[in-house]
Amino acid sequence: MKEENILDSEIRVIGGNQKPPQTPFPWRLFAIIVGVITVIGLIVWWQWPEASDKPDEPGLFEQEQPIAQPHPLVNWFASIDTIRTIGTVTKDISINDIPLRVYAPLNSTPHLEIGYKIADNRESSILFFQAADVRADNGKIVGAFVLHGKPLSWGLSKRGYCAIINGEVTVGVADNSPLFEKATNENGDFFRQYPLVDNGKLVESELKSKAIRRALCDVEGHIVVVETQTIESMHDFAHALIDIGTSNAIYLVGSSSAMGWSMDAYGNGTKMGLWDPRKIKNISFIVWAK
């Protein structure tokens, strides 16, 4: 044996390199521990999504979140006789302490018009509001504009758009919309405005002042015009639009002076804004004709 190999000139401390026999690795205990940890991990993993779904308890000074309520226009849309009614149905509501008036044109044909001629023929329309902005310096329309299939203006100054093709109004937010070409090809209308709501999400606006605000909105497939009754910021207005269920919305020319017209189902018309015809050549309107 190696240990016995020692010379007379050497010494060796006995047991100096001795080690006690190694205890065999406790595989059974190890397997049990691993199994228990795995089971606990699976349980935690299984329960975790449910736990995270549970709403947190509100703090002592924390306001409890209000339970989501259906927006106030849900029942209103259902109650309207959309087959026989010809005219604009209005509803006044208040959202987030912002008084809003909702205009829903029924059984009408939407299109765009340019010029003040519409003011003289207002009896033929059940609703119209100013649509695209006009530049103050040169009187040209801001952004892409198509009138009855004829492009009158190009360019992207505002990401919101409204396309009227075959009597159907589409409101959306996009840098490039194929509906511009489609409106051109199919004798439709198209204009651009500030975006307010994009697929249910608020779009911040560069306009920071407060004014009477108007918007063209798509609320659950219904195209309506919403107008504030008090001066509001664009942000608060867009937020209120989301709260009434708007999926997409673009701005319409606002302020208390912007022209508008509404006629109810009984033929009673209401003028809005200043009807003092200014000689602005390119003033545009979105019109719902009888």
Partner 1 sequence: MMNDFIHLDAYLVQIRHKNLHISQKKQYLCTAIAIMTNTHLIISTSNDLLRVAARHILYISSDGNYCNFFQTGGEMRLVTFQLGQIERMIADQLPELSQNFVRIGKSLIINLNYVYYIHVPKQQLILVDNQQNRYTLSASKEALKALKELIENGKL
Q: What is the nearest approach in angstroms of partner 1 to the Cβ of residue 50?
A: 45
Q: Which amino acid is at 151?
A: P
SS3 of residue 123 by DSSP: helix
Residues 6+ apart with CB under 8 A from 191: 112, 131, 132, 141, 143, 144, 145, 146, 161, 162, 284, 286
- The half-sphere exposure of 218 on its side-chain side, counting CA atoms within 13 A, is 21
Identify which of residues 5 and 69 has a Cβ nearer to partner 1 in the complex: 5
* CA atoms of 64 and 287, how far apart (whole Å): 44
29 is a contact residue toward partner 1 (CB under 8 A): no
Identify which of residues 8 and 62 has a Cβ nearer to partner 1 in the complex: 8
Cα-based angle 290, 127, 94 (whole degrees, multiple of 5): 135
60 is a contact residue toward partner 1 (CB under 8 A): no
Strands (E), 184-221: 189-193, 195-198, 201-202, 214-219
Q: What is the nearest approach in angstroms of partner 1 to the Cβ of residue 16?
A: 6
28 is a contact residue toward partner 1 (CB under 8 A): no
Single out the segment in contact with partner 1 by CB under 8 A; choices: 3-11, 44-52, 189-197, 281-289.
Answer: 3-11
Single out the segment in contact with partner 1 by CB under 8 A; choices: 2-10, 73-81, 94-102, 152-160.
Answer: 2-10
52 is a contact residue toward partner 1 (CB under 8 A): no
The separation between CA 94 and the C-alpha centre of its own chain, rounded to angstroms, equals 19
Residues 141-160, interacting with partner 1 (CB under 8 A): none
Q: Which two tokens stand for residue 261?
A: 């017209």
Single out the segment in contact with partner 1 by CB under 8 A; choices: 20-28, 127-135, 201-209, 236-244.
Answer: 20-28
Residues near partner 1 (CB under 8 A): 1, 3-4, 6-16, 18, 20-24
